[in-house]
A and B are shown apart, each in its own frame.
Chain A
Amino acid sequence: MNFDLYGFGPALAAGTLMTIQLALCSLAVGLVLGLLGALGKTSPHKALQLLGGGYSTLVRGVPELLWVLLIYFGSVNLMRSLGEALNIPGLELNAFAAGTIALGLCFGAYATEVFRGAILAIPKGHREAGQALGLSKTRIFWRIILPQMWRIALPGLGNLFMILMKDTALVSVIGLEEIMRRSQIAVTASKEPFTFFLVAALIYLGLTVIAMSGMYFLEKRAGRGFSRSAA
């Protein structure tokens, strides 16, 4: 084993940065989709219920890798015709955008269930109190439901984020230069696959540990005002 990594250290660091960016962007997309999905599933309208339920069932039943490949390779024709319509030649989805959409889609499908559970866990009286005070529906959601949902949904979302961070490795398959892709390039040059994949594994472990401690603080902050036994 060679411990100076044949000068590939900076490349791996750049890959780590890319992984973090991809994870955070997908998280943002996924949180929005998950919230919309949960609102759909808990809404009184049958059509919205079907839409939210269909989204989470369909996306969760198909592998993440397949979504990444489908969105990257499947969007080529679509983007080309869109580019022709908008008069932008060579319009295409790059690996980062395709990865963000695919991972965000998968995160959102699972987050739908987490948010739905959180919405259902809020006592009915809170919503009714809001109505009695004459608040509008959107206001009740933003001021009463959402701030309380956060605390209940946080542990579930934390688990999903850990899964998301490991799923970013899948985007290396479509050529995005994150940790795995950089390690593969380093392997081709150094002929030491075990060394570099082990380093990649250790980077992911480090990221997981950081995310875990971040979750610990967020949960503690969100749970302030609640006694330990009640939470």
Chain B
Amino acid sequence: MTRAEIHGRLDLDRDTWDEIVAHARSDFPFEVCGLLAGRDGQIEQIYRVPNAARSMTYYSMDPQAMLHAFNDMDDHDLELIAIYHSHTHTEAFPSPTDVELATYPDAAYLICSLQHDEPHLRAFDIVDGRITERLVHLDGEPVTDPAADPA
């Protein structure tokens, strides 16, 4: 498993976690993507955004759906907390493309890997090409690596 320096955390509740995993599985083997918004680091809203690329190795948020999500955040005074996407065949670590195209330095990049039976979620900050990890907490408890990840 590829590691990065750990800085901070990302808190998810069980419903949000389940929703992301369900979304990721819904279009397997293609990558899915979406946005998490809320207040003070607490996630209140999930936006599933269609992957305009519908690819197994690439995602690109549908511009129209993405705008609607951001407008909705604006209307409800929610801030963007995280951008999530799935990796269907690789580990939950940012790919070179993820790093190259990361344009939201204030958001966490949450990756849901379906590489193994057990889904694996990890979160990162990607700023100026540098990756640091935010330890994902589920209902307040740090998430440990599933044993199924021998890499």
A interacts with B? no
Binding site for A on B (CB under 8 A): none
Binding site for B on A (CB under 8 A): none
